[in-house]
Amino acid sequence: EVQLVESGGGLVQPGGSLRLSCGDSGFTSSTYWMTWVRQAPGKGLEWVANIKQDGSEKYYVDSVKGRFTISRDNAKKSLYLQMNSLRAEDTAVYYCATYSSNSGGLVYWGQGTLVTVSS
């Protein structure tokens, strides 16, 4: 069974940092582009970042450029999101997902991890 599991969420003060992780089991995530998507409480979905299979290409939404870094370690079957200079508006559930470069669809999703930025 394909499974993605996020971890690392929690409460952090404005200006602080947090590192999210996403581990996979049941499939070879190294063959997929990977994606972070977030959802603020009661709001819609917002794409955050994408990373190519070998990490050679990365893309970010403008609102996180220069603050967030997406990375992966295929040997550890893990995806990461380093989040610095966090703001209240970054409060959301963060999902990792596999991205199909053929179809553009986000096929497999984790259960999400909640990040709360508050003093």
Contact residue for another protein among 31, 41, 66, 104 (CB under 8 A): 104
Contact 90, 25 (CB under 8 A): no
What residues numbered 31-90 form the site for another protein, per CB under 8 A? Answer: 35, 37, 44-47, 50, 59-62
CA atoms within 13 A on the CB side of 1: 5
Q: Is 27 in the site for another protein (CB under 8 A)?
A: no
Residue closer to another protein, measured from CB, 80 or 95: 95
Question: What residue ranges bind another protein (CB under 8 A)?
Answer: 35, 37, 44-47, 50, 59-62, 95, 97, 100, 103-107, 109-112
